[in-house]
Structure 1
Amino acid sequence: MMIRDFHSHLGRTSSGDASTPEALIKTMDKFEVEQVGVSCLSGNNMEEQNLYVYEAMKKFPGRIIGYAFINPKSKNAIDEINKNLDSRGMAGVKFHSWKHGYYPDNCPILDELFTRISEYEAHVQTHVGTSPLSTPEAWGQIAKRHPGVPVVFTHIGYYDQGFMAVELAKNTANIYLETSGQYDSWLLQKAIDEVDSNKILFGTDWPYKYHSIELEKFKYLNVDKVTNEKIFNENARRLWGL
């Protein structure tokens, strides 16, 4: 089975690890991961972060799929979306309201950004859970206003907001779930049992999580072969437009 990792990162972590493209590819090869979708959260300069991802895409074509990391509070947000989704060929946009310090439901520019993203037929990936700044409910409101944009909730809302993330994905056609960092087996099983199998994606959140754990946890779940293929391969391929 081909494995596509929908959610990883590049760039130096707070602990000092470099997390280079070369290190990522080495880890992917070890665990037989064919392709990975990445953004760069390291640093505070959006343009430099996205350039780093673009250079990695060029260095490892066909292995690294890029996402533009966008701060909606930046005056250059629209320009960064255009540049990265157009000439650089990135597959989606990453938002992180907790890291960038805004409430999604009190950030009107997001509607303009989502409209622009929809013109490229790209997806949005957003961190949900952990902080009051990144609740599934808040991002769900925006997703519902833009039904043509697939919105991927990473971590299935983590531990504190996982149930709401699953409920929103069940009842909102364009909300998807990504599995990294979610270690409540009952919640993972609930998502697999209740959410459309075309809307669940495997991810690792490398370097912040370990491939071994993210892969191992699926061995303890009840997942049929067809659904497994979708989660680990087909759903990512489709959202990446491959």
Structure 2
Amino acid sequence: MIIDCHCHAGPGDGLSGPWDAHADLRHYLRRAERAGIARSVLFATFHSDYTLANRAVARIVAADPQRFYGFAFVHPVRDRGRIARMVGEAVERHGFVGIKVHRHDGRINGEVCAAARAWRLPVLYDPMGEVAVAELLAQDYPDVNFILPHLGSFSDDWAAQLALIDHLRRHRNIYTDTSGVRRFDLLRQAVRRAGAHKVLFGTDGPWLHPGLELHKVRLLELSASDEALILGGNFLRLTGQE
């Protein structure tokens, strides 16, 4: 079963770009089905109220729970003091299985990590190239698993991506995903040096083509067992779905 661990969905309430406007899944789902992607992890686009945005995502997940998983998006600054409550609602009421944070909103903090620890959830945190935070996350929260997507930098910062590979190798609880990684040789190097068990398949849908993102993993020409880890096994293990 192929699982896309990184897909946005539902309403945004800004108009600065697709990332904070409505994320329509219609084209994505058609393309994902053709590619053979069976399930997708959904989280909100950027939003001024993540409680509302998470509830909108929850409705999408509830409409087809065999197709979707949900992650709770939280703002580490604006939601300060209520993150545990937001995550609790997402888990207990909506069945979400992880937390999403983005440095565009604010740097990850102890409150987010404490909520992840309390609910035993992985955190998908986009550091926007500030991958040195992996050292602190691994040191201070060794019992929480962190996925730093895009090999650490969607903006193609190869130096940050190289640095993240070292963190993947050294820290048991630091992972990455394949979404939007344009430097194929760095993706290959991440799998070779850190191991297939540290890399998850993601597409950054609905904006990137899921078939194209999946083809990058196929081109790695891995063993069947290693490819299966990246394409779903690692996600199932990290979220306790095995």
TM bucket normalised to smaller: 0.7 to 0.9
Amino acid at match of 1:198: H
For residues 5 and 35 of structure 2, what CA distance do their matches in structure 1 show?
A: 15
Query: What's 1:238 paired with?
Result: 237
Cα displacement (A) at 1:128: 2.9
Seen in structure 2, the aligned counterparts of structure 1 residues 21 and 211 have a Cα distance that, compared at 3 Å, is closer
C-alpha contact 2:11 2:53 (8 A) present in aligned 1: no
Find the counterpart in structure 2 of residue 47 from structure 1.
51
**Are 1:145 and 2:106 counterparts?**
no
Aligned residues: 230
Measured on the aligned residues, the alpha-carbon RMSD in Å equals 2.0
Question: After the TM superposition, which of the residue ranges 217-226 and 153-162 deviates more from structure 2?
Answer: 217-226
Question: What TM-score does the superposition give when structure 2 sets the normalisation length?
Answer: 0.87
Matched, 1:58 2:62: yes
Q: Distance in 2 between matches of 1:114 and 1:233?
A: 24
Is contact 2:10-2:45 (8 Å) kept?
Answer: yes
Q: Does 1:163 align with 2:162?
A: yes
Give SS of 1:34's match.
Answer: strand
Aligned residue runs from structure 1 range 75-94, under 5 A: 75=80, 76-94=82-100
The alpha carbon displacement at 1:184 in A equals 0.7
Q: Can you give the 5+ residue segments of structure 2 that lack an aligned partner in the other structure?
A: none
Which ranges of 4 or more aligned residues in structure 1 deviate by more than 6 Å? none
Q: Percent of counterpart pairs with the same letter?
A: 22
> Which residue does 2:36 correspond to in 1?
32
Amino acid at match of 1:234: G
Contact 2:39 2:66 in 1 (8 A): yes
| 1:160-213 alpha-carbon deviations (Å, 9 max, x no partner) | 111111111110110011011112111011111011322210000002211122
User: Aligned to 1:136, what secondary structure does the other structure show?
Assistant: coil
Q: CA deviation at 1:114?
A: 1.2
Ranges in structure 1 where 5+ consecutive residues have no aligned partner: 105-109
- Superposed, which structure 2 residues align to 1:122-133 within 5 Å? 122-130=121-129
Question: Alpha-carbon deviations, 1:208-227, whole Å to 9, x = none?
Answer: 21112202223432422111
* CA contact 1:57–1:66 (8 Å) conserved in 2: yes
Give the structure 1 partner of residue 203 of structure 2.
204
CA distance 1:139–1:70, shift in 2 (3 Å): farther
Q: Which residue of structure 2 lines up, in the alignment, with residue 189 of structure 1?
A: 188
Q: Distance in 1 between matches of 2:30 and 2:64?
A: 12
